[in-house]
Amino acid sequence: MRIHALTTGSVSLKHAFLHPREGVRRQLDLFLPGEWSARLPIHCWAIEHEDRVLLVDTGESATARDIPFARFHVTTADELPAALSAAGLSIDDVSEVILTHHHGDHVDGLSRVRARARMGEAEFAFIDLPFSRFMRRALRQPLPPGFAPERLSFDDGAFGAFPRSANLSTDGRIVAVETPGHTPGHLSVICVDDAGNHVHPTPRCTSRRSG
Ligand SMILES: [Zn+2]
């Protein structure tokens, strides 16, 4: 198994996003003037295993618009095809995409991929909520063109502390588990690497704390 961290550009984030206060200030501070971080990489992951390449998220694209608490630095030369190329892979090598959740810095690269894509079943209901629709309009972060992943259901029993899981490889060494919080339908991917360690190639979200 080989696990590659791919970088699709970078983002500067307001300190209020990275270090939120409690209560109403948590949301309010995002929209008030404040300090900004240095540029942080926008990651996604590629896992080579069983003669397949599984992508966990697809990174950001050059179409990303700045929002009140995030400034994106992504050119077309930073997008998924180039990020895969830097790891010695090609967009045509991708066998399948697993999306952790629906935010733009995780799904905007999907329009470049022809392979099957799946997202956790609970995220679909969340995407359609009026609150989610409002946030996408208000922050000018639409879903990417042709966004139509399939539903990933968690029918493969417990994995460690997680009551349900979804096998993503035939040998059970790559699984998805439900990790609601950042969004209600968020999932994480766990790999059992060649040394038997459990590793967790799941990109941190840089676009929104909720919504
Ligand atoms: Zn997110």
Q: What is the mean pLDDT of residues 169-178?
A: 97
| SS3 call for 137 | helix
Residue 174 lies in a domain: yes
| Ligand 1 centre distance from Cα of residue 86 (Å) | 25
74: in domain:
yes
Contacts of 173 (CB under 8 A, 6+ apart): 1, 49, 191, 192
Say if 207 falls within a structural domain: no
**Is the separation of the CB atoms in 37 and 110 below 8 Å?**
no
Q: How much distance in Å is there from the Cα of 52 to the middle of ligand 1?
A: 26
Q: In 3-state terms, what secondary structure has residue 82?
A: helix
CA 27-128-186 angle, 5° bins: 65
Instruction: Say if 127 falls within a structural domain.
Output: yes
Distance from residue 204's CA to the centre of ligand 1 (Å): 7
For residue range 45-68, what is the model confidence (pLDDT) as tens digits?
999 999 999 999 999 999 999 999
In a domain, 209, yes or no: no
The answer to whether residue 173 is domain-embedded is: yes
CATH for 116? 3.60.15.10
What's the pLDDT score for residue 127? 94
Q: How many domains does the chain have?
A: 1
Give domain status of residue 205, yes or no: no
